[in-house]
Amino acid sequence: MLFSVGLSKNTTTQGRLPVLYDTVFSNIGDGFDLTTGTFRAPVDGLYQFTFYGMSNSETTLDLVHNSMYVPLSF
């Protein structure tokens, strides 16, 4: 599975809502749902996520697995 998505313009999100990306570069395995901003693993296994963000104000990033927040360390 491989997916790569991005934004073509600046965007603002409210609360803990997913970022709704507007550009799909690849979605091999169709695990990423562009309409909801979520990835569902089609098979059990180990997955690695790498994400980048840029902000001119305070930013919070959350990773959610099966409706539970996963602690991130930077």
Count of structural domains within the chain: 1
Q: What is the pLDDT of residues 17-71, one digit of tens each?
A: 888 899 999 999 899 998 998 888 888 888 888 877 777 777 777 788 888 888 8
Residue 74 confidence class, pLDDT cut points 50, 70, 90 = low
> What's the rounded Cα separation, in Å, for the pair 45 and 25?
23
Tokens of 24: 């799909």
Q: Which residue has the tokens 């059990």?
A: 44
Name the band, by pLDDT with cuts 50, 70 and 90, for residue 4.
Answer: very high
Q: Where are the alpha helices (DSSP H) in 1-74?
A: none
Contact 37, 19 (CB under 8 A): yes
Q: Residue 12: which domain range?
A: 1-74
Q: How far is CA 28 from the centre of its chain?
A: 15
DSSP summary character for residue 37: T
